[in-house]
Amino acid sequence: MRRRWPALAGLTVLVALLAGVAAGALWRLSAPRPAMTEADAASLEGGNAVNGRRVFNAAQCASCHASTGQTDRLRLGGGYALESPFGTFRVPNISPHPADGIGSWSAVALANAILAGISPDGRHYYPVLPYPEYAHMRREDVRDLIAYLRTLPPVEGRPAGNELSFPFSIRRAVGLWKALFLDGRPIADDPTRSVDWNRGHYLVEAMGHCAECHSGRNLLYAVKANQRFAGGVDPSGTGFVPNITPGRIGRWSVGEIAEVLSSGRTPELRFVGSTMADVVANMRELPVEDRQAIATFVKELPARPTTRP
């Protein structure tokens, strides 16, 4: 017995060391990795607010950030409560109000929130702000979006914070999720496809975040690649969002898909409701060629069977 003591003590020290190393490695892995630094500041100034408005609509910022209890979608006072299996997220004020919104934020700070899900004080945002998709946005479009956001009316008031259950309330853990699932590469054009398809690909995957609602998810709540666009449970758990691949809507023409985006009317002569009605409120503000491009991309998605919940 006596002789095993030193060995046991050694083992305990080793285990403790390993746990420390593992914790240290996890801590480092979960560190915030900004997409832009002060060196990029000049490249984010002088944006074109007209194109920025187009980005704002394609990315549907107003669907979540418009002040609750009023109809002006350009008053971005926040307050909307997003229910999820982890608790309630409360959408912040991103109007240019200097104290309650983003009025005093630098362009670099804003770009890091949108592209990398990182706050000005270096903390992670939850991917409910769809930065896993926005991360693919071209830097010029982010610059223009920032210019547009700064033209909107300042709104007073700070909504209450999130109400999340433990351990989901630990923001640092989002860093591990990012290490597993965040791919910040900008979307490259595919020269074998049409101009329309490439524009649609970009609008859908970097801005429209259609996959965030229309896909199946894994246990860590990331979109499953083989169920992308194949339908999935509504993130708030209230229903099933339909499959929009040709596996289900293969008979719909590009024009019919574009019609859903402009008026909400499907070829089955039904009007889309629920959160898709908000999507349409944004899509109909886009130039007709953008809706056409999105429809072209959707029409050519790989056919997938509907994901069963």
Binding residues for ligand HEC (CB under 6 A): 59-61, 63-65, 82, 89, 91-92, 94, 102, 110, 113-114, 119, 125-126, 128-130, 134, 162, 204, 208-210, 212-214, 241-242, 244, 249, 257, 260, 266, 272-276, 279, 294, 298
Q: Which is nearer to ligand HEC, 20 or 122 (CB)?
A: 122
Alpha-carbon span 238 to 249, nearest angstrom? 22
220 contacts: CB under 8 Å, gap ≥ 6: 177, 180, 181
Between 183 and 268, CB nearer to ligand HEC: 268
Q: Which of 91, 184, 178, 102 is nearest to 138 (CA)?
A: 184
Nearer to ligand HEC, 135 or 210 (CB): 210
Nearest to 231 by CA among 249, 252, 208, 219: 249
Q: Residue type for 182, please? A: L
Nearest to 42 by CA among 119, 95, 111: 111
* Euclidean distance between CA atoms 52 and 147, whole angstroms: 7
Q: Quote the least distance from Cβ 23 to ligand HEC, whole Å.
A: 23
Work out how close the CB of 131 gets to ligand HEC at its nearest, in angstroms, rounded to a whole number: 8
| Closest CA relative to residue 16, chosen from 6, 8, 28, 27 | 8
Buried b (16+ CB within 10 A) or exposed e, 155-169: beeebeebebeeebe
- CB nearer to ligand HEC: give 77 or 242: 242
- Which residue reads 């919104």 in tokens? 101
Cβ neighbours around 308 below 10 Å, total: 9
> What minimum distance in Å lies between the beta carbon of 176 and ligand HEC?
15
With beta carbons less than 8 A apart as the criterion, state whether 165 and 87 touch.
yes
Tell me the C-alpha distance between 246 and 257, whole Å: 11
Burial of 25 (0-12, 13-18, 19+ CB in 10 A): exposed
Residue with smaller CB distance to ligand HEC, 43 or 236: 236
Using the minimum distance from each CB to ligand HEC, give the nearer residue, 18 or 31.
31
The smaller minimum CB distance to ligand HEC, of residues 43 and 205, is found at 205
CB 7 → ligand HEC: shortest distance, Å? 47
Rounded to the nearest whole angstrom, what is the least distance from the CB of residue 8 to ligand HEC in the complex? 45
Q: With contact defined as beta carbons under 8 Å apart, do 174 and 129 qualify?
A: no
